[in-house]
Structure 1
Amino acid sequence: MLHSVKILEPTDLWYLQNNINKETNKHYHPTKNIPFVQQLEIKLENSGVVVQKGAMHSCFGLLSYGVYKTDNRLKDVWVSLMTEIDYNAPVYRGTGVIKLEPKQKGSFLDYTAIDITDDEQWEFDDGIFQFCSDNVVLGAKKLNWRQMAGSADGRWRIAIKALPGQNAKVVTGTLAPAKVIELRKDEVLIADYDMVKGFTNGIKEEYSKLGYFGKGGGEGYVWTYTVSNRSGGRLLVSETDGMGIS
């Protein structure tokens, strides 16, 4: 499963019809918006991919379509223990190319590929998950009231885990550039905004008050991430989110 991000520009006819010199005003025109488009393509070679609901734009090749599902016994046990509900999404298998819905300029995403080992479970904020390989178990977890109060991501998070003995891949999309960092034992990450977009099962998340205003000082409510096991965990962070520079 390979993916590529393409930026599509208007045709020469569009520039001509709008009386814009393509050579000198290709990226910017003082009075007219030039409609660049971002589109993500997924190439399959005898493999499968689970796509975010409603994200498919077109597909071509020797492909079969279905609704995501895995071994029922494993799925029922894992979903009941680790998540609240099952997650239904379209899955494509075979050999070919799948193109996702194009995004207009101003709504471009930064895509991050993450390899998931068989001992990891990732949780992602709502809207972060874009697609993944089909050798996974997917579910949805409900946020508690503190988590919902500090985030605009709704009530649910997607939880994803590779099938036993297998490594999977997931691709996320964020408004600002993101990267995966590792948090080791006795380390803590504190952020005054929704910086973390996803984390593994080795991480404990809290949304609580840090100190107090007034004479006691403090920052008010912040996000705190600590390690909940001996081996540590990983987080997907977007440091420039909310700065308006992406």
Structure 2
Amino acid sequence: MQHEVKIIEPTDLWYLQNNINKETNKFFHPTKAIPFIQQVEIKLNNSGTIIQKGSLHRCLGRLTYGVYKTDNRLREIWVSLTTETEYNAPVYRGTGSVFLEPKSKGHFLHYTQIQVLPSEQWEFDDNVFQFCSDNVVIGARRLKFRQMVGSTDGTWRVTLAPLPEQQAQVVTGTINPTKIIELRSGETLIADYDLVKGFTKGIREDYRKLGHFGKGGGEGYVWMYEGQGKLLIAEMEGLGLG
């Protein structure tokens, strides 16, 4: 499974009809909004992908359609009720291209591809997961009450792990750019905002108060991560530079 993020601009006829010089005003015009579209193309070569329900725009090739299922029906229903990743999410297999719903300017996302190793299990914010290879098991984890209060993650998180002895791929979409860092044993990550968008099993997450009444730091509630594993972080979150 491979993917490509395409930025589609208006046709030459659109520029002509709106009396805009394409060479000098391609990205900005003082009086007219120039529409640009972002669209993701997932390329399959004898492989498969699971996408969010409702996110398909079109597909082309020698492809078969199915729905995501595990060997545990109760797990499927539980995931469907508690996360945006429904148990009957579409699965496309074969050789060809799957195009996701286009996003208009102002709603573009930054996409990050993650290789999920056989021994790893990732946990993602519910609105971060976009699509993945079809050799995975998807689950859900309930957040603690104070974690719900401190973020916009909702009540549940999506968990994802590859099938035994296999390596999977997952692609996330966030408003700001993200990168993967590794937390080593004995290290601690502390953030005063929702910095982390996903992490592997082995990382312990908590939302706790740092200091009391101005003593001991006085930062109020912060996100803390300890243990050993990988984290998906958005350092530019809240800077307005996304």
Q: TM-score range by the shorter chain?
A: over 0.9
> Does the 8 Å contact 2:125/2:158 carry over to 1?
yes
Q: Quote the Cα distance in structure 1 between the aligned partners of 2:12 and 2:33.
A: 15
Counterpart in 1 of 2:131?
131
User: In structure 2, how many angstroms separate the alpha carbons of the residues matched to 1:141 and 1:134?
Assistant: 20
Q: How many residues align?
A: 236
Query: Per-residue deviation at 1:127?
Result: 1.1
What is the aligned partner in structure 1 of residue 235 from structure 2? 239
Residues 7-37 of structure 1 deviation map (CA, whole Å, 9 limit, x = unaligned): 0000111111111111110110011110111
Secondary structure at the aligned position of 1:241 is classed as: coil
Mapped to 2, the partners of 1:19 and 1:210 lie a distance apart of 57
Q: Deviations over 1:131-185 (max 9, x none)?
A: 1000000012221211100111211211100001000010101111100110010
Where in structure 2 are there 5+ consecutive unaligned residues? 81-85
Q: Which amino acid aligns with 2:237?
A: D
Tell me the TM-score normalized by structure 1: 0.92
Aligned amino acid, residue 129 of structure 2:
F
Matches within 5 A, 1:28-39: 28-39=28-39
**Match in the other structure for 1:85:** 79
C-alpha distance 155-5 of structure 1, shift in aligned 2 (>3 A): same
Question: Helix, strand or coil: the match of 1:85?
Answer: helix
Root-mean-square deviation over aligned CA pairs: 1.7
CA distance in 1, matches of 2:216, 2:114: 41
Deviation at 1:186, TM superposition (A): 0.4
Rounded to whole Å, the distance in 2 between the matches of 1:158 and 1:102 is 24
More displaced, 83-92 or 54-63? 83-92
Contact 1:213 1:219 in 2 (8 A): no
1:98 matched to which residue of 2?
98
Residue 49 (1) aligns with residue 45 (2): no
What's 2:174 paired with? Answer: 174
Greater Cα shift, 107-116 or 212-221: 212-221
Q: 1:85 offset after TM fit, Å?
A: 3.5
1:153 is aligned to 153
Matches of 1:46 and 1:233, distance apart in 2: 31
Please tell me whether residue 214 in structure 1 is matched to residue 214 in structure 2.
yes
Q: 1:106 to 1:152 in 2, by over 3 A?
A: same
Give the conservation status (yes or no) of the 8 Å contact 1:49–1:93.
yes
Contact 1:113 1:169 survives alignment (8 Å):
yes
SS in 2 for 1:95: strand
Residue pair 1:66, 1:90 contacting (<8 A) in 2 also: yes
Unaligned stretches of 5+ residues in structure 1: none
Distance 1:168 1:33 in 2: 40
* TM-score, normalization by structure 2: 0.93
Counterpart-to-counterpart distance in 2, 1:114 and 1:219 = 32
Question: Do 2:210 and 2:217's aligned partners in 1 also have CA atoms closer than 8 Å?
Answer: no
